[in-house]
Chains A and B, each alone.
Chain A
Amino acid sequence: MPSAQEIKQRIETAIPGAHADVEDYTGGGDHFRATVTAAAFEGLGRLEQHRLVYAVFAAEIGGPIHALTLKTQTPSTLTTTN
């Protein structure tokens, strides 16, 4: 059963330069909420951004990882909105 820390590391390893904040919001190791910030998302729509993150886990999504709630953003979105 993956931990939030493991999910975070896998996202950050697979998407160069990404920063992920991951929370196991049920404590059960199968429902996670992640906010991922990555320059790699620049120029992509939300669908494509989320697909990049889902691709890290492939068939585990819907399997051992029942839910991965995602919010994706680019570093430039951060500077404009914060």
Chain B
Amino acid sequence: MSTSPEPLPMSSAQPSPAPAPAGESNPIREAIEQAIGEHDVILFMKGTPEAPACGFSARTVAVLQALETPFAAVDVLPDPRIRQELSTISDWPTIPQLFVRGELIGGCDIVTEMYESGELAQALA
């Protein structure tokens, strides 16, 4: 079971060549931080849970679905700045990225490893 991703304001943002300098208003970063804060379980992925656009995102979705975990999902593909800002916030270079209660759990490898060991079910409990 998965909640459909709610469109975030950043999804409709137009690409711009330069990221906002530090200290200035950064609506994309703020929208990402807000989304991470608002959802207990949130997955930043390529594509959607219904139509993943990458095998690693697909596998991570499958793990969450196997655990019957409701989760929010954000597609990073519509605007390259989402991925850029997300990686700055999380200090994590790849997609997907799973956050539970505001904390980065990891990407596909860690999520899969934790699923197999039973740690993921504990982290989500």
Contact = CB atoms under 8 A, between A and B. Distances in A.
Contacts of B110: 46-47, 50
A61 interface: yes
A51 B91 contact: yes
A11 B83 CA distance: 25
Contacts of B94: 54, 61-62, 67-68
B38 interface: no
Interface in A33-82: 46-47, 50-51, 54, 58, 61-62, 67-71
Contacts of A50: 106-107, 109-110
Contacts of A58: 93
Nearest to B110: A46
Interface residues of A, number: 13
B93 A71 contact: no
A67 B56 contact: yes
Sort chain B's interface into a size bin: 10 to 19
B93 A70 contact: no
B109 A69 contact: yes
Interface string B95-120: 10000000010111110011000000
B56 A47 contact: no
A50 B108 CA distance: 12
Contacts of B106: 46-47, 50
A15 B101 CA distance: 32
- Point out which of B56, B95, B110, B114 has the most chain A C-beta atoms below 10 A from its C-beta: B110
B109 A62 contact: no
A54 B92 CA distance: 8
Interface of A: 46-47, 50-51, 54, 58, 61-62, 67-71
